[in-house]
């Protein structure tokens, strides 16, 4: 079936609905949701029962880049800096040196067992060298895994920040494949430029975006997520334009914004959480449509060998050497090694050789697709089991909620209090966004002149206001008092 203007919306919406319904029940059978999305795309493709002909790597790459923008930005917004800060060094080393070591060790193995040149082998290793943010974020959160110490933030930081390194390596080795006369050392300036420019741009656009979001006065609350989407794409495209790594820039920008007080932050987080899921579904459906299962079958044997080596050797080597100088129990290192999920990102990166037209591009794409599927199927279905084996899991009651979990909690908070604002109060004449309010507490309503108003970040606190504050536990109010610089005598417990 050919995609036309008349049927594309109907087919797209039916595939989307089918993916959501399949995802709802998939975990009852231990199958990762993302694999279901991919399978539905394959079944709908030209080799499947749907018969949809889709063979456009350029369009698939465009959809992949747009989707990754939303997925990485949403993951960055949900990253708790307080949780990430203690393991920042480990995360950075894993997302740089760990990715490089994985790419080199896997590339060397591919060179030995295939007729690939060394640069073609390293290109394949680079494409699958990073863990997939979409796979890690969705599987960890869907399975509600509670992990000891700082394992969870380490895994999420690594998966959110290591795609830029894999992207740079992919582009660098693709350049060497195309231009055989260049030396390996010629890619070092490209690497430094991408990472340095990307980091600086991410921080710069983070500060700028916060200023714009909090200072601009939009008439409708629903426009704020739209504003953030515009800022996200500006960050990515502008960084790419100046030669930096756009993926790194939007992730850094999002991490900064996610840990700041923003106007209508709850609305922004909810919107991006939904958009991230939509982009994951669209991305996996698109890649499922792009692949031809009949073309993968001839490469299954070599694909299994490479996938097993990646899971059991290349990834552990990269992790263990990267964490060599950090104090960490061996079983924690092994669990990080196991959560080396490959998903949509390697498949998106595999479209670059296709568009470049190199000789073994089609073979590389099919092997990468097979590796991603086996990784999600094998590692994605066993995260809970391996966590139990390695004794790195926590009882569900001890699970630490992320910032989005707490902010989006729909049922009532455990505690509600009223705090009166006097002429001497620190908060007087200040906007709510300027207060630096605790993240686990919200000003739900303000009683003013015998009427109630629902505030937003731009609402100014006035004298004799009564703030109705909700918090998830009583201890949070100690932070509220410190923020408002008042004593408990000035508040009345409801």
- Domain of 291: which CATH number? 1.20.1530.20
Q: Are residues 139 and 220 in the same domain?
A: yes
Contact 464, 427 (CB under 8 A): no
Q: Are residues 342 and 385 in the same domain?
A: yes
Q: Are residues 350 and 454 in the same domain?
A: no
**CA-to-CA distance for 330 and 320, rounded, in angstroms?**
9
Note whether residue 325 is domain-resident.
yes
Q: Both tokens of residue 448?
A: 């003013």
Q: Both tokens of residue 117?
A: 């040149």
Q: Are residues 256 and 346 in the same domain?
A: yes
Question: What does 435-475 look like in DSSP terms, one character per residue?
Answer: S---TTEEEEEEEETTEEE---TTPBP-TT-EEEEEESSTT
Q: Given this model, what pLDDT does residue 401 score?
A: 47
Q: Are residues 472 and 354 in the same domain?
A: no
pLDDT, one tens digit per residue, over 331-379 is 888 988 988 888 778 888 989 998 988 888 889 998 988 888 888 888 8
**CA-to-CA distance for 20 and 363, rounded, in angstroms?**
31
Axis-axis angle for helices 57-77, 151-161 (nearest 10): 140
Q: Given this model, what pLDDT does residue 130 score?
A: 85
Q: Are residues 178 and 200 in the same domain?
A: yes
Q: Are residues 130 and 221 in the same domain?
A: yes
Q: Are residues 342 and 474 in the same domain?
A: no
Contact 423, 204 (CB under 8 A): no
Q: Provide φ and ψ at 335, rounded to 5°.
A: -70, -40
Q: Given this model, what pLDDT does residue 426 score?
A: 79
Note whether residue 457 is domain-resident.
yes
Q: Are residues 378 and 486 in the same domain?
A: no
Kind of pairing, strands 466-471 and 491-493? unpaired
Q: Are residues 306 and 418 in the same domain?
A: no
Q: Are residues 474 and 339 in the same domain?
A: no
Q: Given this model, what pLDDT does residue 494 score?
A: 38
Note whether residue 275 is domain-resident.
yes
Last residue of a domain, one of 353, 372, 398: 398
**pLDDT beneath 70: ranges in the chain:** 1-8, 19, 22-34, 133-135, 137-149, 393-414, 472, 487-494
pTM, two decimals, is 0.76
Note whether residue 274 is domain-resident.
yes
Helix, strand counts (H, E) of the chain: 24, 5
pLDDT, one tens digit per residue, over 408-422 is 444 344 577 788 888
Q: Are residues 345 and 387 in the same domain?
A: yes
Domain coverage including residue 240? 8-398
Which residues, in sequence order, are CB contacts of 57 under 8 Å at separation 6+?
A: 290, 351, 354, 355
Note whether residue 1 is domain-resident.
no
**CA-to-CA distance for 158 and 133, rounded, in angstroms?**
8
Q: Indicate the DSSP class of residue 311.
A: I
Q: Given this model, what pLDDT does residue 235 score?
A: 95
Number of folded domains that form the chain: 2
Contact 367, 306 (CB under 8 A): yes
pLDDT, one tens digit per residue, over 149-158 is 677 778 878 8
Q: What are the percentages of helix, strand and coil residues in the chain, rounded to 5?
A: 65, 5, 30
Q: What is the CATH number of the domain that holds 427?
A: 3.30.70.1450
Q: Given this model, what pLDDT does residue 54 score?
A: 76
């Amino acid at each position: 079936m050919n995609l036309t203007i008349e049927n594309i919306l109907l087919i797209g919406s039916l595939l989307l609905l089918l993916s959501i319904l399949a995802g709802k029940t998939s975990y009852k059978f231990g199958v990762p949701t993302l694999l279901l999305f991919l399978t539905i795309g394959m079944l709908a493709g030209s080799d499947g029962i749907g018969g949809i002909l889709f063979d456009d790597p350029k369009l698939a790459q465009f959809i992949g880049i747009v989707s990754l923008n939303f997925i990485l930005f949403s993951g960055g917004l949900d990253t708790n800096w307080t949780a990430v800060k203690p393991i920042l060094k480990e995360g950075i080393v894993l997302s740089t040196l760990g990715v490089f070591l994985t790419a080199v060790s896997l590339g060397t193995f591919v060179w030995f067992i295939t007729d690939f040149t060394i640069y073609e082998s390293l290109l394949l290793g680079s494409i699958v060298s990073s863990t997939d943010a979409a796979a890690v974020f969705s599987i960890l959160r869907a399975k509600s895994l509670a992990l000891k110490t700082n394992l969870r933030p380490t895994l999420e930081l690594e998966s959110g920040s290591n795609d830029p390194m894999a992207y740079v390596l992919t582009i660098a080795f693709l350049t060497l494949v195309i231009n055989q006369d260049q030396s390996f050392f010629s890619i070092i300036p490209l690497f430094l430029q991408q990472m340095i420019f990307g980091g600086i741009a991410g921080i710069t656009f983070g500060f700028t975006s916060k200023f714009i979001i909090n200072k601009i006065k939009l008439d409708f609350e629903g426009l704020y997520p739209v504003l953030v989407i515009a800022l996200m794409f500006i960050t990515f495209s502008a960084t790419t334009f100046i030669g930096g790594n756009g993926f790194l820039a939007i992730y850094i920008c999002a991490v900064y914004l996610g840990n700041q007080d923003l106007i209508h932050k709850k609305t922004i987080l909810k919107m991006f959480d939904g958009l991230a899921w939509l982009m994951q579904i669209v991305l996996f459906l698109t890649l499922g449509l792009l692949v031809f299962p009949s073309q993968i079958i001839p490469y299954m044997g070599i694909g299994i060998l490479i996938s097993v080596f990646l899971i059991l050797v290349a990834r552990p080597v990269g992790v263990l050497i990267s964490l060599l100088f950090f104090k960490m129990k061996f079983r924690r290192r092994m669990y990080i090694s196991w959560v080396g999920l490959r998903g949509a990102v390697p498949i998106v990166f595999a479209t670059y050789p296709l568009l470049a037209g190199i000789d073994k591009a089609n073979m590389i794409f099919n092997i990468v697709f097979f590796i991603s599927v086996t990784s999600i199927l094998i590692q994605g279905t066993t995260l809970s089991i391996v966590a139990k084996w390695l004794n790195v899991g926590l009882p569900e009651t001890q699970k630490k909620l992320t910032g989005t979990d707490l902010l989006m909690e729909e049922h009532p908070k455990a505690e509600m209090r009223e705090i009166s604002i006097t002429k001497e109060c620190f908060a007087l004449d200040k906007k709510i966004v300027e207060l630096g309010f605790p993240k686990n507490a919200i000003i739900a309503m303000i009683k003013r002149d015998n009427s109630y108003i629902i505030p937003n970040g731009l609402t100014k606190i006035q004298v004799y206001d009564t703030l109705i504050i909700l918090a998830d536990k009583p201890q949070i109010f100690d932070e509220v008092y410190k923020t408002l610089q008042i004593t408990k005598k000035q508040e009345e417990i409801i």
